[in-house]
Amino acid sequence: MALAPDGRTLALGDETGIVQLWSTHSPSMVSRLEGYSWESIARVRFSPDGRTLASAAKMGSVVLWAPDKSALGPVAAAAIRSRKTRD
């Protein structure tokens, strides 16, 4: 869960890969960011200026969204895999 810097939007990621944007002024969903990942969302974070939202899935996919232009789909996406090292 992440609150936009202006305090007007709350972002929630769910286990189906959808990020929901909710208004903090009324109990209503503003937008659904979907269609890129079917992995469970582990984290969502807004950029300091609030113009970009990052969603990170548990399996390593990271998607950048422009919340005010959500109908256009994701801005960028990447699959990040960590490499485990042995001691």
Question: Which sign, positive or negative, has the C-alpha torsion 23, 27, 32, 33?
Answer: positive
Q: Which fold has domain 2-79?
A: Thrombin, subunit H (2.40.10)
Query: Structure pTM?
Result: 0.77
Residue 12's Cα: distance from chain center in Å?
7
Contacts of 52 (CB under 8 A, 6+ apart): 46, 64, 65, 66, 67, 75
User: What is residue 69's predicted lDDT score, i.e. its pLDDT?
Assistant: 66
Across the chain, which distance is largest between two alpha carbons, in Å?
A: 52
Q: Is residue 65 packed enough to be buried (19+ CB in 10 Å), middle (13-18) or exposed (0-12)? A: buried
The predicted pLDDT at position 59 comes to 82
| DSSP bridge partners of 10 | 3, 22
State the pLDDT at residue 61: 83
| Per-residue confidence (pLDDT) for residue 67, from 0 to 100 | 79
What pLDDT shows up at residue 76? 60
For each of the chain's 87 residues, which pLDDT tens digit applies?
Answer: 999 999 999 999 999 889 999 999 988 898 888 866 678 999 999 999 998 999 988 888 888 888 776 554 566 666 655 555 554
